[in-house]
Amino acid sequence: MVDAIKAGTFAESALFTDDEKAALALSLELTRDVHVHDATFERARRHFDERALVELVVNVGVANLNNRITEAFWADLPEE
């Protein structure tokens, strides 16, 4: 499953539900491009209500922020 996400082939995979595919597409665009295309957002709206969309976007944003903070501080740590 992780390989399909990394490769960007999750949309064609039978391993994911349509809800999961919509969430993954939105999450990847938020992470990689920051901007979510209108078509991606409309697809997500067909699968999630407004509250779920807000929760998804906030969780992706927090995860991205956490990753950037962690990377910034760990990047200069000496190897043991």
Tell me which of 21 and 72 has the higher pLDDT.
Answer: 21
Residue whose pair of structure tokens reads 């209500």 in the numeric block: 49
Look at residue 11 in the predicted model and tell me its pLDDT.
Answer: 86
3-state SS string over 33-73? CCCCCHHHHHHHHHHCCHHHHHHHHHHHHHHHHHHHHHHHH
Burial 48-60 (b: 16+ CB within 10 A, else e): beeeebeebbeeb
pTM: 0.82
- 5 falls in which pLDDT band (50, 70, 90)? confident
Segment 14-48, tens digit of pLDDT = 889 999 999 999 999 999 998 999 999 999 999 99
Look at residue 80 in the predicted model and tell me its pLDDT.
Answer: 64
